[in-house]
Amino acid sequence: MSTKPVNTPPSHPSPMNFQSKAMRFHTARRAATNHFISGLAILATVIVLVPLAAILFYLIYKGASSLNLAFFTHIPAPVGESGGGMANSILGSGVILVLASVMGIPVGIAAGVYLAEFGRGRMLANAVRFTADVLNGVPSIVMGIAIYSLVVMPQKHFSALAGGIVLAIMMVPTVTRTTEEMLFTVPHAVREAALGLGVPKWRTVLSVSLRTASPGIITGCMLAFARVAGETAPLLFTAFGNQFWSLKLNEPIAALPLQIFVYAISPYDEWHRLAWAGSLVLIAMIMVSVTLVRIYANRGVLKGGS
């Protein structure tokens, strides 16, 4: 008995197979893109960090050997004599930076709160924001000349107060814009919950919005502090410098950037050595102050924690 072959229709891939292959292809492409972009980000980070690390290590190499007890306890020695230190400059920098922080940070935070919480869509808020952006790009020496004309010339003498004022003005734009951006990240639901409980607007801003955004605001304040800590040009027109001990706010005062500048342009090798040591101390002061503030912020001391 003969049997006839049965004609079976050709098999076609099911739509599910096509979908699974497409999904695997898209997953692989997304994973490859993710690894590629992550690699670029890591490469960019390395490119930025390597020069900074090289500068820091070279600074330690040149400056660490010149540090001794006299550097932190003595004032600069006269021309031609060896030894001496920068004790008055270290103390003077601390005075000027404290003045600048006390004057600049509250004004910057208040301006940022106004822009984010009370001035949305108002012409005054746009003017304040534009002014902050303009001030952020003004060269520091122009700031120094302006304060020289407005503060130093009417007083007829240089002063620590004038130096604090010029650095405070330089801090305000950074603190303002950072505070505004950080407050924008606070969810509206958090504000609405406080307002729904009958909390006044000003209390909501102080107790809810600012507390929630405080880590970012503190970071902005530290960035502003680090930016002005090494400024020399504006202090040449305001604080002017002093070779002796002085803590009076209405008199010229020494500062590390000024003393480093004087030593760096001098023809004496001894002063060049002290300039490297002063640069290392200035960097260390900035790093230690920023680190301490971040540690206390993370522990909740500045965030209202117990």
195 Cβ partners below 8 Å, 6+ apart?
201, 204
Cβ atoms 237, 157 nearer than 8 A: no
DSSP state at residue 121: T
Report yes or no on 50 lying in a domain. Answer: no
Q: Which residues pair with 84 in a beta bridge?
A: 76
pLDDT greater than 90 at residue 92: yes
* Burial track 43-75 (b if 16+ CB lie within 10 A, e otherwise): eeeeeeeeeeeeeeeebeebbeebbeeebeeeb
What is the total count of domains within the chain? 1
Report yes or no on 164 lying in a domain. Answer: yes
pLDDT given for residue 9 in this prediction: 54
pLDDT greater than 60 at residue 130: yes
pLDDT greater than 50 at residue 305: no
CA separation for the pair 246, 242 (Å, rounded): 8
Report yes or no on 20 lying in a domain. Answer: no
pLDDT given for residue 295 in this prediction: 80
Tokens coding 296? 């206390």
pLDDT greater than 60 at residue 301: no
The helix (H) or strand (E) run that includes residue 40 is helix 15-63
Rounded (to 5) percent helix, strand, coil in the chain: 75, 0, 25
pLDDT greater than 70 at residue 70: yes
Report yes or no on 5 lying in a domain. Answer: no
Domain that includes residue 277, residue range: 69-298
pLDDT greater than 50 at residue 133: yes
Question: Domain containing 268 — which CATH number?
Answer: 1.10.3720.10
State the burial class of residue 256 (Cβ atoms within 10 Å of its Cβ: 0-12, 13-18, 19+): buried
Report yes or no on 9 lying in a domain. Answer: no
How many other CB atoms sit within 10 Å of the CB of residue 11? 6
For residue range 245-283, what is the model confidence (pLDDT) as tens digits? Answer: 888 899 999 999 999 999 999 888 888 989 999 999 999
Report yes or no on 212 lying in a domain. Answer: yes
Cβ atoms 102, 172 nearer than 8 A: no
Only one residue has tokens 């007829």, namely 156
Residue 111 CA, distance from chain mean position: 17
Mean pLDDT of 98-109: 94
Report yes or no on 6 lying in a domain. Answer: no
Cα three-residue angle 188-197-125, rounded to 5 degrees: 40
For residue range 35-46, what is the model confidence (pLDDT) as tens digits? Answer: 999 999 999 999
pLDDT given for residue 306 in this prediction: 42
Backbone φ, ψ for residue 303 (5° rounding): -100, 10
